[in-house]
A and B are shown apart, each in its own frame.
Chain A
Amino acid sequence: MIYVIDHNDSFTHNVVHQFALFDKVEYDNYDKINENKIKQASTIIFSPGPGNPKNYPITSQIYKKYKGKKKIIGICLGFQHILFCEGAKIIEQKKIYHGFQSNIKVITNNSLFNKGKIFKVGRYHSLKLKEPFKSNNFEITMRCLNSKVAMAFENKKEKIYGFQFHPESFLTINGNLLIKKILSA
């Protein structure tokens, strides 16, 4: 079972539907977490949402509790949230991408995806990862072709993954494939 933690977002149910193509999905808002469901879940998803990771301390607690024990996937705010818990700074960017379609590229051989592959993806983010960023086992695996902003990370050892873009958006081409690969990893 996959447990999706919603951060009061207007895209979370697209995420739920996308993951439900592959497994049973349960979801709750971050302030109404069901401990039993979390325990039963094999994978935890941190949804997109408004604001900054530091506004959601409950999500940070969950991350710390289950890191390394369950697969964790973060999308947009969720992506930032995981990095934030790993000590990263999340900052405002000059150019803001809301409802924007970008080309992004796999930049490393260590990714689940082939190096050099380009994806067309939908983006909704005001904030971004401040770089350089370093944390054990974490590697940035995709970047925006134009701005070079970090678009995905993978921590294969502890099975933690994140996308700054929205795989569930209609603007993302082949989003289901991305999710399928991460879930079967």
Chain B
Amino acid sequence: MNITKQLSEIHQSGVPYIIYKSQKGFDLYTDFSKKIILNNKNIKSFLSKKNKKKLKNTDLFIGFFGYELLNNLINIKVPKQKNLNFPKGIFYKPEKKIKLSNNFKYPKKNFVAGNFQINMNKKNYTRIFSKFKKKIKRGETYQIKICTKYKTKSKINPLDFFSRLSNSNLAPEAFMIKDNNYSIISCSPENLITKKGVDISTKPIAGTVKKTKNLNKLKALKYFRKNLKETKEHNMIVDMERNDLSRICKVGSVKLSKQKIVEEYKDLFHYVSLIKGKLKKNINNFDIIKAMMPGGSVIGCPKINTLNLLNNQEKENRNIYTGSFGYIKFNGDMRFNIIIRSILNFKNISEISVASGVVVDSNVNHEFNENFLKAKALIDLFK
């Protein structure tokens, strides 16, 4: 049976499934034999549990940790916020894996959607922005990312959306989840954890510029190097990620393996670093998740104080946004991304969250617009 037909059949049969970008194409996971809904109580046992040695390519748990769960994991409380009561984290045990090519096709479907509404007007954004700038001047945070949310009522076919998104933007950490009562569509570009045996790495992105006719890769690198604000933001994230890896890695093993390089995507250039380390003995999955999440590049720095500042400011739960999606194999190997550039569809509402950084020399208009641009790429799918 050809793959496109098989994909259509899986989708139409109504069973839950997950698609995750692989090196050469996409992997589809389905036939879930277990579904674990995570909370503060069961997350530790979920992550500490030893599973039988990996035998099959489906011997793994795949799913996501939401933002609030990851905060709670490092003893940070999130005050009462406007909440959809969306699960804090869900993992699935698949029994079937199918490989898809990069340009899998799915016919465009009809959908219903209203106009997206932002949850914060520019006046409020400016007020928070100024408040955080003062905190930076006082040294309470060095960099902080304000999240804004766009929402609309909708009824969509997630596979249609994911197929169109992937055709226009083939992101290295793209994924989609379709379950009975929700779906997530994401073109995340950012890998937070790649772990194989004792080797672990993280690949933070700080700095993005849109491709134009005149801007090639070399010029993009020059642009980033000249831009002091982007450079400083990036430096901060590199030191923070070195720190987080150092919590769990052997002394002297944490190395900056690629320093401030440019990666080229269909429409964008990203300013990226790659940091590697070798795990200490007796480090388990729980230690790794706790050390690395929530991923620093989408929060700000230093992590704990900045999370507290954000949580006291934000009126709405981030849900999946700035959480992590990925898998943990039974042999302990894992891969996780940072959930950004994503659409959460739940209770007939689609929500898109975006954030951009405040550092001391940020400009409020620029950041507000950047947030909008980031959201627009996803909002345009609803046209």
Contact = CB atoms under 8 A, between A and B. Distances in A.
Interface of A: 8-14, 16-17, 20-21, 49-52, 77, 92, 96, 98-101, 122, 124-127, 166, 169-171
B168 to A, nearest CB: 33
Interface of B: 136-143, 231-236, 238-240, 242-244, 246-247, 251-252, 254, 256, 259, 296, 301-305, 359-360
Contact of B243 (A12, A21, A77): A12
A51 B235 contact: no
A122 B239 contact: yes
B252 A96 contact: no
Contact of B302 (A10, A17, A20, A170): A10
Contact of A98 (B236, B246, B296): B236
B138 A52 contact: yes
12 contacts: A10-B296, A10-B303, A11-B240, A13-B244, A14-B242, A14-B246, A52-B139, A92-B137, A98-B142, A99-B233, A124-B239, A170-B256
A14 B239 contact: yes
B239 A50 contact: no
Given A10-B243, A11-B243, A20-B251, A126 B139 contact: yes
Contacts of A52: 138-139
Nearest to A50: B305
A122 to B, nearest CB: 7
B251 A21 contact: yes
A10 B252 contact: no
Contacts of A20: 251-252
Nearest 8 pairs between A and B by C-beta?
A99-B235, A126-B139, A99-B232, A13-B246, A10-B302, A99-B236, A20-B251, A98-B142
B243 A96 contact: no
Contacts of A17: 246, 251-252, 254
Contact of A11 (B138, B231, B302, B305): B302
Contacts of A127: 138-139
B240 A10 contact: yes
Contact of B239 (A21, A92, A125, A170): A170
